[in-house]
Structure 1
């Protein structure tokens, strides 16, 4: 099936394996993905205390190669990609000319003139189209590599030990936001020390035909350490506790990086012009003089769970909106991220609540993230 065929959900190379494990499957961004295997709470706790195994093959991989690959990415994205060393990675964004966020990305420099851009599944086509359009006039090629990779993540405090038993790659020397080619359980892989859980962990880019073999080897090696397969549901509660933004929730095309409190990813001092520079210069100035709503953490005093879109209120006035909410297995209470007016954004601000179907439930404003691992 081609990447553009949207008639039926796409299936990853691990699809049959997920079903054999009894996974509850769900359509996510046009892919059939495991939501949970048994208990999403148990899967969440396993990642926090031991290790979890994720199929992330729905993510969108785009390879950019050629003598001017770095110049093209500097022009197309808001970050300074030219300064990323070989074997390193960078979190960045691609914006519209009006400064609105099209997607947040991780860019890996895999060789001197080669980069792997990883987009969110829901935006992969949009990012691909934008990069191809922005490549005009640059001596560089933008290649759709979504079918070339399966992506398996092992996350949690036990993940380094589990992976070490399957590879002779120098994991100790592999820093956070770095990637190196290696062999894991006999399978060639790009081993990246990245993740979306708030824990130490690795993301392994492999050929789809090697995915099942690698998953089974990791399952076997990780069993004694408490590793379990994990679905998208616990991935969401893990990233929420870690205060990590999700596109479509904390990040949207109607927000600039400055609105999202992530202005630091925009590098105005890099060489060459970049798409959205003018609008983002204005957004940066605006954020200085008239602070936008601030992304904060909210912790429930009661048991009711806030959901995206629910109004945040204070003294009978709407002061913001919930972007993500869920019960937190680690805190034992419902939590949420929300954009609120700057005047109500300080941790401990009194009188803040969430309007949950007409009832104003009290919430405490707390700094993000809700959870930070002990290093």
Structure 2
């Protein structure tokens, strides 16, 4: 039976269309619809309930060494409040998950993991921990709200001065409208934005306070549908689509977060370098007629070249697009491909990622 987030009654109040997702009942969209929600985030601001995500505390004298061993990125040299993105690999180099690690203070880290993987990730960490370290799953106590879009900072400035100036930083002692919370300058939409982490008891008050503050900026609530179209338009990978236990982070274009020069980490010996990479993630712009979805065969001159991982119509850009894993020889900008969609050929072309990038 699906669980309800602390904001469930808010979704009902704002007429969210509820669907099961990652073990929770969450809004796929609200009255405005996915396209209007998507455009609100691109041009103004949108508010998302992402309380289904997981939060794990890692602390102890060996906390850093555990992160260095379990994750592909390098967590040395971080300032308090700084965040770093990282894949977490299995022994064969496949991806267990991708996550964000914040350094709260010396010997204590705050880890945010994907909703569908939080139990798996927590078990993985417990099974591979060593030395003086404690991992604690605090997901059930935390509400996470994402305020995203070019107007998000103006909205938040009405309620707090505790705003991180730099991207991928969090203020662990923040207050928004006097509510204690972590204020993080992060997001999953391709826009400037913030993610707020707070105690469940303040969830509804925070939601309503943000909605009221954002009224003059056209702030609207947004659901899972817009969250997916936004991240795809911005070329952001999603676990279970662009990466999984069989797709490694280098193939999916996350080499920037794989530090092969650091000491050994789980899966390192099985990860390819640029010269030995056999396949890679690319963008596909549909040039024919049709919408491409996930797990559809991609052909080049009648020969299988790979498979799609995600696809949709991009509301802001105005055309259908997809991401795919293609054999390296075909993963070249300008390559013409054919995608088999329900037995029908849909023509597309390899293009650079991301499809959309916000203007400075």
Q: TM-score range by the shorter chain?
A: over 0.9
Determine helix, strand or coil for the equivalent of 1:83: coil
By how many angstroms is 1:294 displaced? 2.0
By how many angstroms is 1:278 displaced? 2.3
Matched, 1:66 2:60: yes
- Per-residue CA deviations over 1:111-164 (Å, capped at 9, x if unaligned) read 22211111101110111011111223x211100111121000000000000000
Determine helix, strand or coil for the equivalent of 1:67: coil
By how many angstroms is 1:344 displaced? 2.0
Aligned to 1:361: 346
Determine helix, strand or coil for the equivalent of 1:288: coil
Number of aligned positions between the proteins: 358
Measured in 1, the distance between the counterparts of 2:150 and 2:256 equals 29
Where do 1:264-275 residues align within 5 Å? 264-270=256-262, 272-275=263-266
Measured in 2, the distance between the counterparts of 1:101 and 1:84 equals 24
On the 8 A contact 1:71/1:82 being kept in 2, the answer is no
Structure 1 spans left out of the alignment, 5+ residues: 1-7
- Per-residue CA deviations over 1:323-370 (Å, capped at 9, x if unaligned) read 0000110121111001112222222223x1211122211112210000
On the 8 A contact 2:91/2:266 being kept in 1, the answer is yes
Measured in 1, the distance between the counterparts of 2:285 and 2:188 equals 21
Q: TM-score, normalized by length of structure 1?
A: 0.93
Aligned to 2:93: 99
Determine helix, strand or coil for the equivalent of 1:81: coil
Measured in 2, the distance between the counterparts of 1:274 and 1:370 equals 32
After superposition, the Cα gap between the structure-2 partners of 1:249 and 1:211, relative to the gap in structure 1 and judged at 3 Å, is same
Aligned to 2:145: 152
- Per-residue CA deviations over 1:2-53 (Å, capped at 9, x if unaligned) read xxxxxx1111000011012111111111111111012100000000000000
Matched, 1:256 2:248: yes
Aligned to 1:204: 196
Matched, 1:50 2:37: no
Where do 1:1-375 residues align within 5 Å? 8-38=1-31, 39-136=33-130, 138-169=131-162, 171=163, 173-180=164-171, 181-270=173-262, 272-280=263-271, 283-284=272-273, 287-289=274-276, 291-350=277-336, 352-375=337-360
**Coordinate RMSD, CA, aligned:** 1.2
After superposition, the Cα gap between the structure-2 partners of 1:269 and 1:212, relative to the gap in structure 1 and judged at 3 Å, is same
Measured in 2, the distance between the counterparts of 1:21 and 1:203 equals 20
- Per-residue CA deviations over 1:224-263 (Å, capped at 9, x if unaligned) read 1011000010000000010000000001100122222222
Measured in 1, the distance between the counterparts of 2:288 and 2:260 equals 44
Measured in 1, the distance between the counterparts of 2:149 and 2:289 equals 27
Measured in 1, the distance between the counterparts of 2:322 and 2:215 equals 33
Measured in 2, the distance between the counterparts of 1:316 and 1:25 equals 42
After superposition, the Cα gap between the structure-2 partners of 1:277 and 1:344, relative to the gap in structure 1 and judged at 3 Å, is closer
On the 8 A contact 2:289/2:347 being kept in 1, the answer is no
Determine helix, strand or coil for the equivalent of 1:176: coil
Measured in 2, the distance between the counterparts of 1:150 and 1:310 equals 36
Determine helix, strand or coil for the equivalent of 1:177: coil
Structure 2 spans left out of the alignment, 5+ residues: none
